[in-house]
Amino acid sequence: MAWTWFHRLASPPHIYRVAGRLTPWFAWPAALLIIAGLIGGLVLAPPDYQQGEGYRIVYVHAPSAWMSLMVYVTMAVAAGVGLIWRMKVAHAVAASCAPIGASFTFAALVTGSLYGKPMWGTFWVWDPRLTSELILLFLYLGYMGLRSALDDVQRADRVSAVLAVVGVVDVPIIHFSVIWWNSLHQAPSVMRLGEPTMPPSMYVPLLLMLLGFTLLFGALLLVRVRGEVLSRERSATWIREALQA
Amino acid sequence: MSAFFNMGGYAAYVWPSYAVTFAVVALNIIWARRLLERSRKEALQRLAMGGIEQ
Amino acid sequence: MSALTAARLVLARDLKLAFRKPSQLIQPLAFFAIVTTLFPLGVSPDLPRLKPMAAGVVWAAALLSSLLALEMLFRDDAQDGTLEQYALSGRSLTWLLAAKTAAHWLLTGLPLALMAPLAGMALGAPSSAIPGIVASVAVGTVTLSLIGSIGAGLTLGIRRSGALLSLLTLPLEIPVLIFGARATELAIDGAAYGVPLQLLGALAVLGLTLAPLAAAAAVRINLE
């Protein structure tokens, strides 16, 4: 029984239809959660004792950083599944993840910089989290560069999948080494992107934002996967029916 | 109201942060939908030209 | 013929072929020397000012030189079909590529490790630091060759892949840089460098077990 479900999931026409139907179920709740989070974070939550109103950047920085990492892991898992079981749909998911993840990594870097400037006076600090985000951006760019360098989509899928799997194994190692490196050269003033300790009125909107962005990722993924799956179809009777529906 | 926009003096950091993040969100939405549209058009074209085996 | 015997034959072959073109072997080392020279020229001739950054410069130069040397890892064998023969041979491609990577290290990493103390001393390091510099660069370059082999395997079919290869490989190599530079820095300062050296060793072991597998997977996909 379970196996049939898995095989249906792997079938492009099935995915195309199901993804189309599921998208609003991700998109609208995402919008609601994000709006609720924004109201909670910008209006309802009190200012912080130390960071004043400035800490409110966390309501966009933390979701961006969360997205950057979650999307990479999703990409790597999908890539691995695609490699092992030779599933076109899995490769389509991996391909869809990359631009989403890269753009949110960029957002995390920018918001992280803007968070750091008023707190420590410089736009860039080599703190472990910002440095890790920067390296993650390079990993995304490398993945996308490798994909675009290969014309054959199938080969691009599989080669970049190897890279994604290698990358995800290396990410914890990179993160650990960066934290280690940073702790060795600790500046006298603590240069860490530290969020304030949060009472519920502060962290509930944060949770809403994190959840909202996650659902947003789901919606974006569903839309992109449909497009990716279509462009990979070489012989398909279902396309005509699906497109004219 | 102006106190809200002022963000306790941090306005120059808070609002651009929100702007950048939501620009990225909007970009992603537009990008994804455009990709799907383009794939549909291309698939229909390939069908019409007989490039897809039945 | 066991996988190990085949691997040994491939290793011997690669070494023999490489020594027929000594100029190709010198190039990464010359590059290392040039890159190292850029830093005093760009910063200051003052040795006390250079000494604090000596470890970082040596390692940055080593990473870049190692990248440059990756050209020679698979290119010739891919072009003349040898790589395909390896893949079709029924012997474990993983072992054969591991052998090629070992040859690569012997031809580039090890010489770099022997040159690195010279670069270090040119940047203000004391001669007492020589064992530490050699040890850290020798162990670190093992992992650089291994990670590099994955990058080279991934970009096998791509023309003018130099920049892409760098973009793929360098981020993955950052832990090696961090631990290696730390070990070298401690050696230069005359302190105990055992901890980062062991971390480097751990990375090398991890690389030895996983990298040839990934490289073989990448090569197979590109040969299809």
Q: What's the pLDDT band for A188 if we cut at 50, 70, 90? A: very low
- Residue contact A176–C174, C-beta within 8 A: no
Summarised one tens digit per residue, pLDDT across range A93-135 is: 999 999 999 999 999 999 999 998 888 788 888 888 899 999 9
- Dump the DSSP string for C70-135: THHHHHHHHHTTHHHHHHHSSS-HHHHHHHHHHHHIIIIIHHHHHHHHHHHHHTT--GGGHHHHHH
pTM here is 0.92
Q: Which residues of A touch B33 (CB under 8 A)?
A: 223
Flag whether pLDDT at B7 surpasses 60: yes
Taking all residues of chain A, what is their mean pLDDT, rounded to a whole number? 89
Is A68 an 8 Å CB contact of chain B? no
Cα dihedral A207, A209, A210, A215 sign: positive
Residues A30-46 pLDDT 10s: 999 999 999 999 988 88
Selected residue with higher pLDDT from B6 and C30: C30
Q: B7: alpha, beta or left, given left = phi > 0 and alpha = psi -120 to 50?
A: left
Q: What per-residue confidence (pLDDT) applies to A189?
A: 47
Give the nearest chain C residue to A181 (CA atoms).
C178
The minimal CB distance from C154 to the residues A83, A162, A177 is found for A162
- pLDDT (tens digit per residue) in A152-187: 999 999 999 999 999 999 999 999 999 999 888 765
**Mean pLDDT rounded to a whole number for chain B:** 86
Q: Splitting chain C (224 residues) into consecutive groups of 10 residues, what average pLDDT does each group show?
A: 89 93 91 94 92 95 94 87 89 93 95 96 94 97 97 91 94 97 96 96 96 96 91
Confidence category of residue A197, pLDDT binned at 50, 70, 90: confident
Degrees, nearest 5: CA angle A110-A115-A118: 125
**A neighbour chains, 3+ CB pairs within 8 Å:** B, C
Token duo for residue A236: 């398909």
Check contact C-B (3+ Cβ pairs < 8 Å): no
